[in-house]
Amino acid sequence: TGSGSDIYKSINSGGYDGALSLFDPYGNLYFSTYIGGAGYEDMEDVKATSDNGLILVGYSSSTGGALELKDFNTGSTDDVYYPGTRQGYILEVDQELNAVWGTKFGGTTEVDLGGERVKAVDLDNNGDFVFIGITNRSGLPTSAGSFEEVYLGNQDAFIVKVDHNTKEISWCTYFGGENGQEDVYSVAIDHDNNAYLVGTYLLALNSPDLPVLEADGYYDDTYDAASGSDNEGFVAKFDEDGDRIWVTYFGGGGYDRVYDVATDGRLIAVTGSVTNEDDIFPLVDFTDAYFDDLIDVSDETKEATAFISVFDRNTDLIWSTFLGDKATSNAHGVSFDPATDVQRRLFVGGAVSYEHDDYLTFEPLCDPGFGGYYQDEPLADFYTSTSDQHKNVDGFILGFDIDGFPEDPPVSIFEFENYQQMFLYPNPSSGLVSIQGMEGESFIRVVDINGKVVFEKQLVAQQPIDLSFLPQGLYVLQAIVADLQFNSTIQIIR
C-alpha cells in the first residue's frame, strides 16, 4: 500500500524479501512494502531517527546492490560483493520514505557459506548510528587501536559506529574469542552514549574465552553451560569511543539466551529464556516487585522459561525473576514506557506454549482493568503431536510498574496528579530555549521520539536551556516544579 517513496515495491522479487510496514498512532496501516533484490534479504531491525526518518538493517545475498536501490555503491563503506555469500546492509530513509543513504557492510575474505548479518541498530544522543551483527570472516573495516582489530575465528560479533552527518565509520571492532561462537541480538544506548549489547556464547573447542571484564557491579566470569550444545548468555557495555567497559556471562547451567536489552537512561533491562538452571541463575527479589524463583516445566532439558532482569547504572543487578510456571515461555522483547508522564513502566513480550491443563499457571497474567485488553484463555488450537516443539503457542505482553525502582538522578518524590501545559520560546528553536511563566527551581528533562532521555538538568527560574547539541527533530520537554509537571513539545531546527 502506498507508493510515494523510492523504496516502494509491490511484489516479492527474490527468494525472500524484507518487509516494512508503518502504522499511525491509531493503528491504521499507511505504508507497506517489500524491500529486497533478486536474492535473499532479511530485515532485522528498524529505528526512528530524530528527524522522523528510519534506519533499517539486515542482510542480503542479492547481486547488483543489496536492495536493488542505487546499488548501495555510495563509496561510504563497502560496495564489494562476493557471490554466494551474504552481507549486511544499512539503509537510511527520510520521513517521506525516500532513500538518503545505504551501504553494504562486509568482510573482504571470500567464504563458501555465511558472511555478515547486521542484527540490530540504535541511535545515540548525537544521532549517530551504532549497529551490531555477526560474521564468519576477516576483512571488516576495523579501526586502528580498536578493541579487537582482527577476526579470531568460528563466528565473531562486530560493533560499528557511523557518523550521521558524514556517513563515515567512527569506529569498528570485532567482539569475541578464538574458541567459541558469539551471537548478538540487540543493542541499546543510554544518555551517556554507552552501548549495551546482549547475546549468546557457545563454546566450540578448548576453554571458554569470551572477553569478560569486571566493572563495579554484577560480574560472572564462569561459563556454566552444562553441555557442548548449550549456550551461555552475556551482557556487554562499550563507551561512545568503542572502549570495552563491562562484559559478563549471564545465565545458569542450561541453554541460555539473552534476546533483548533496553535502557531508559537510568536502568538497563535484559530479557530472554533459560533452561535447566540448577539453581544458579542470578535471581534478585526486589521489594514489592513480582518475583518467581522456580522453573516448573515438565522437562527442564528441553523446555524454557522466560526471565526479566534489571541493572542500575552502576551495573548492579537489582531485580531478576523468572516469568511463568508449567509452560514453555520465551521473552523476545523488552521496552521502557516511552510515555512522558512520570509513572515508570517496563514491558516484556514473547511467546508461551503449553499443554491444555497447564496454561492457567502462567502466573504473570494480570488484568489491567479500566477496560484494557486482557485475555486469560488460550488462543492457540490444541493438538497432541509430540514432534512439534512449537505446538499450542500464544504471544504474551507483560507490563510492570517500576516506580519503586531506584533512579539516578531522582525525578521527584511526588505522585503527580496535575499535568499542565507550558510555553516555550522560541519554538522551533536552533539552540537556546526559555520557559515562560515558571517560578522557582525546576527539574528539566528532554525526551526524544524514541522515548529516550537525552537531557536532564536542575534549573533556576528564567534560566534558558541550551539544546544546541541536539540533532534536528521533535522532542518533549518536561519541567517538574514541586508537585506539578509541565509538558510541551519542542522542535529543534538547523
The CATH number assigned to the domain holding 306 equals 2.120.10
Domain shared by 357 and 278, yes or no: yes
7: in domain: no
> Greater confidence, 62 or 395?
395
> Greater confidence, 391 or 486?
486
The pair phi, psi for residue 11, each rounded to 5°, is -130, 155
pLDDT of residue 25: 76
1: in domain: no
Bridge pairing between strands 465-466 and 432-436 = antiparallel
Domain shared by 447 and 323, yes or no: no
10: in domain: no
Percent of the chain at pLDDT > 70 equals: 77
pLDDT in tens, 63-100: 654 344 433 334 444 444 444 467 898 989 888 888 88
pLDDT of residue 83: 43
Domain shared by 69 and 206, yes or no: yes
Specify the pTM: 0.78
362: in domain: yes
Domain shared by 98 and 173, yes or no: yes
Would you state the cell numbers that stand for residue 301, as one nine-digit string?
532439558
pLDDT of residue 56: 93
Q: What angle is formed at CA 213 by the lines to CA 453 and CA 157, rounded to 5 degrees?
A: 75
Exposed, middle or buried: residue 252 (CB in 10 Å: 0-12, 13-18, 19+)? buried
The Cα–Cα gap between 127 and 101 comes to 15
Domain shared by 292 and 430, yes or no: no
Give the 3-state DSSP-derived string for 68-112, with helices as H, strands as E and coil as C.
Answer: CCHHHCCCCCECCCCCCCEEEEEEEECCCCCEEEEEEECCCCCCC
Q: What is the CATH number of the domain that holds 443?
A: 2.60.40.3080
Bridge pairing between strands 418-421 and 484-492 = parallel
388: in domain: yes
407: in domain: no
Mean pLDDT of 396-406: 85
pLDDT in tens, 32-46: 888 877 777 889 999
pLDDT of residue 468: 87
| Selection from 472, 469, 474, 423 nearest residue 448 by Cα | 474
Q: How many CB atoms lie within 10 A of CB 376?
A: 10
Domain shared by 362 and 425, yes or no: no
Residue 301: which domain range?
18-401
pLDDT category at 279 given cuts 50, 70, 90 is: low
Using DSSP, state whether 118 is helix, strand or coil. strand
Mean pLDDT of 26-32: 85
Cross-strand bridge partners of residue 481: 484
Domain shared by 281 and 427, yes or no: no
228: in domain: yes
255: in domain: yes
pLDDT in tens, 148-189: 999 998 899 999 999 988 888 999 999 999 999 999 999 999
Domain shared by 256 and 324, yes or no: yes
Percent of the chain at pLDDT > 90 equals: 32
Domain shared by 424 and 397, yes or no: no
Q: Which of 341, 371, 401 is the last residue of a domain?
A: 401
pLDDT category at 14 given cuts 50, 70, 90 is: low
The DSSP 8-state label assigned to residue 382 in this structure reads P
Domain shared by 370 and 426, yes or no: no
**Domain tally, the chain:** 2
The number of residues in the chain equals 494
Domain shared by 330 and 462, yes or no: no
Q: Which of 368, 401, 434 is the last residue of a domain?
A: 401
Distance of CA 162 to the CA centre of its chain: 17
Compute CA distances 429 → 450, 451, 469, whole Å. Answer: 20, 20, 12
The Cα–Cα gap between 470 and 150 comes to 34
Domain shared by 484 and 339, yes or no: no
pLDDT in tens, 216-261: 899 999 998 766 667 899 999 999 999 999 999 998 877 889 999 9
Q: Which of 401, 436, 451 is the last residue of a domain?
A: 401
pLDDT of residue 71: 36
